[in-house]
Amino acid sequence: MAETPATPARAFRLGVAGPVGTGKTSLIGLLCRELADEIEMGVVTNDIYTDEDAQILRAAGVLEIDRIRAVETGACPHTAIRDDVTPNLIAVEDLEADHGPLDLVLVESGGDNLTATFSPALVDAQIFVLDVAGGGDVARKGGPGIARADLLVVNKTDLAPYVEVDVERMLSDASDARDGGPVIGLSRHDRASVDALTDWVRRMTAAVREGRHTPVDPGPMAPHSHADEDGNVTVHTHEHGHGHDDLVPGRAV
């Protein structure tokens, strides 16, 4: 008789990143509505100065209120998902301590740029989210987030006619930018695309549970700049001083 796989010591941690307004919070809400009856879930959201995303999900009733935790990063969003992941790790671990064992914890980054990647010290796999309203050319611009996340989602495809975007072209560009890595065009109004997303999450959850997926580093963020309140611009990079290796993302076998 085949042995039943042991319950993992901790939940599968899935990061969700992408620029502001691409629909990260709504995607997480969709996953909670679709999967909460079959998968034990929790959510950790990131905002710079508020807990607004957590409040949106709590108000929507997608999970029990206490299964949705908020981290106020107080700095650039990528700082809390890559450079110093301690506040997020504490939030995830507290969530699991209070409600575990959990199968899946979704960690939502604050809205960031095309270079945003999670540290493998925080998540086991990551989804990067674009949307058609951001422009049909965004996918082919590339960057670590687009190229190396475990899954790229092109969201809000139902809006394409209103913003004059060729969805098929955008998806093709995205596939090229990812060397054929998985890409899903998503609309919450399109059942087939919702099923494709939830199926990917189910399969990745099973792969992590069964030890068939190893988290690795998508690579450092590209050089980028930030302007302060006085308009002064600082350009900086995130190098390997944090102990990360420049590797492509792991894939489920």
Name the binding residues for GTP. Answer: 18-25
What distances in angstroms separate CA 26 from CA 57, 153, 181, 186, one per listed residue? 8, 12, 23, 11
Integer Cα distance of 17 and 150 in angstroms: 11
From the number of C-beta atoms within 10 Å of its C-beta (0-12, 13-18, 19+), residue 147 rates as buried
Structure token digits, residue 136: 């049909």
- Extract the runs of DSSP E, i.e. beta strands, from 83-150: 104-108, 125-131
| Binding-site annotation: residue ranges | 18-25
Question: CA nearest 78: which of 41, 46, 104, 37?
Answer: 46
